[in-house]
Amino acid sequence: MSPAAGYLLRRLVGGLCLLVAASSCAYLLCAAVLDPRGNYQAMSPPPPPEAVARMLAENNLDPGAPLAERYLVWASGAVTGDLGRTWDGREVSEELVLRAGASLRLLAAGAVAGAVGGVAAGAWAGARGGRWDTAAAAGAALLVSVPPIVVALVLQALAIALNQAAGGVLLPAVGEPDAEAPPGERAAHMILPTLALALPLAAVFSRYQRALMAEEAGSDYVRTARAKGLRRGTALRRHALRSCLVPTAAYFAYTTAALFTGAVFAEKVFGRHGAGEMLIDAIEAGDANAAAAVCVFGALCVTVAGFAADAVRAALDPRVRA
C-alpha cells in the first residue's frame, strides 16, 4: 500500500469513528430534551392519554422510557438504515431521503462557490497588498461578523426590491420550482440561497488564504523563481499558491459544519424543503427521531467533506506521498 493510500485509509477510519460518535451524541441530546406529547394534545379532539402513551412507545419517542433503552432501539435500526418514525408515524428515513437531495444541491453549490471565490479573492489580495488588501480584509471581516440568517434576509430583501423595480421576477426570492420545471428556472431559484451560503464561506476562506499568500509571497523559493526570470505573478501562481492550498484544503473540513448550519437558515428563509427545514420542524414538534436523523445527515456531510479535503491534501502535499 502506498503512503498516500495508507494516509487516506487512516483518515477514513477516523472519520467513520467520529461519525458514529457524533450521531450517537446527537440522538442522546435530542431524545433527552425533546418531547412530542404537545402535538397530540393540540389535536381536536385530543386522543386519550392511553392512546398517546401507546403511540409514543410504538415510535420509540416515550420520554418516560429509559434513555439508554431508547438509544439501543434507535442505534440497532440506524445500522440498517432505519432511523425510526416521526411522532405521527411516518418513516424518518423516507422523509430524509426526499429532502436530502435539495440540501445536497445547495450545500455543494455553496461550498464550491464559497471555497473557490474565497481562495481566489484571498490569494489576489495577499499577493497585491496595499489598499486592495485592506479593502478585501475589511469586506471579509464584515461578512464574517454578520450572522448567516441576516445575510439570507438581506439578499432576499434586495431581490424583492429588484423584482419590484423591474416589474417582474428577475430573482426568485422564495420557494422552489417543481421537479418538471426547466433547468433555467431551477437554476434561478438556486442563486439566492447559494449566495447566502457562499458569501460567509468566501469571507472566511479569503481571510485565511490572504494571510497565507502574503506570507508565501516573500519566501525564499519565490524570490529564487523570480531571480530565474519568472514574473512575480507567474512565480506566485506556480509556487506560492500551490503551497497555500495544502493548509486551505485541510481547513475546508472544519468549515463544513458551519456551512450546514447556514444551509438550515437559508432553506427556511428561502422556502426550500430540504433537511434544514426538516430539522427546524422536528425541533418545533419535539420529534427526537426526525431531529436526530438530520443531525446524522449533517455529520455524514462533514465526514465526506473531511475525506475529500484529505484526498486533495494527498494530491497536493508531497510529504503525504513520501
- 257 has pLDDT over 80: no
CA pseudo-torsion sign 267, 272, 278, 281? positive
Cis peptide before 147 (omega within 30 of 0): no
pLDDT for position 166: 87
With residue 120 as reference, give the H or E element that holds it. helix 92-128
Rounded to the nearest 5°, which phi and psi values hold at 91? -75, 120
Q: What b-and-e string marks burial along 76-90, b requiring 16 or more CB atoms within 10 Å of the CB?
A: ebbeeeebbbbbeee
d(CA 153, CA 169): 17
d(CA 135, CA 122): 11
User: Which amino acid, 219?
Assistant: S
pLDDT interval class at 4 (50, 70, 90): confident
pLDDT in tens, 93-124: 999 998 888 888 888 899 889 888 888 888 77
pLDDT for position 233: 64
- 88 has pLDDT over 80: yes
d(CA 315, CA 322): 11
Question: 64 burial class (0-12, 13-18, 19+ CB within 10 angstroms)?
Answer: exposed
Contact indicator for 196, 158 with CB cutoff of 8 Å: no
pLDDT in tens, 28-75: 999 999 989 888 888 888 888 888 889 999 999 988 899 999 999 999
Q: How many residues does the chain have?
A: 322
pLDDT interval class at 290 (50, 70, 90): very high
pLDDT for position 132: 65
What are the grid coordinates assigned to 232, written together?
Answer: 512575480
The DSSP bridge partners found for residue 91 are 85
Contact indicator for 200, 142 with CB cutoff of 8 Å: no
Q: What b-and-e string marks burial along 171-199, b requiring 16 or more CB atoms within 10 Å of the CB?
A: bbbeebbeeeeeeeebebbbbbbbbbbbb
Q: What is the pTM of this model?
A: 0.80
pLDDT in tens, 185-229: 888 888 999 999 888 888 888 887 877 777 766 666 666 766 776
pLDDT for position 176: 79
* Range 246-266 average pLDDT: 78
- The residue among 320 and 6 whose pLDDT is bigger is 6
Instruction: Of 69-83, 132-146, 201-215, give the lowest mean pLDDT range.
Output: 132-146
What does the mean pLDDT of the chain come to? 84
What are the grid coordinates assigned to 262, written together?
Answer: 447556514
Contact indicator for 224, 239 with CB cutoff of 8 Å: no
pLDDT for position 167: 85
d(CA 56, CA 34): 12
Contact indicator for 59, 84 with CB cutoff of 8 Å: yes
* Structural domains of the chain ordered from first start: 3-321 (1.10.3720.10)
pLDDT for position 219: 67
- The residue among 88 and 251 whose pLDDT is bigger is 88
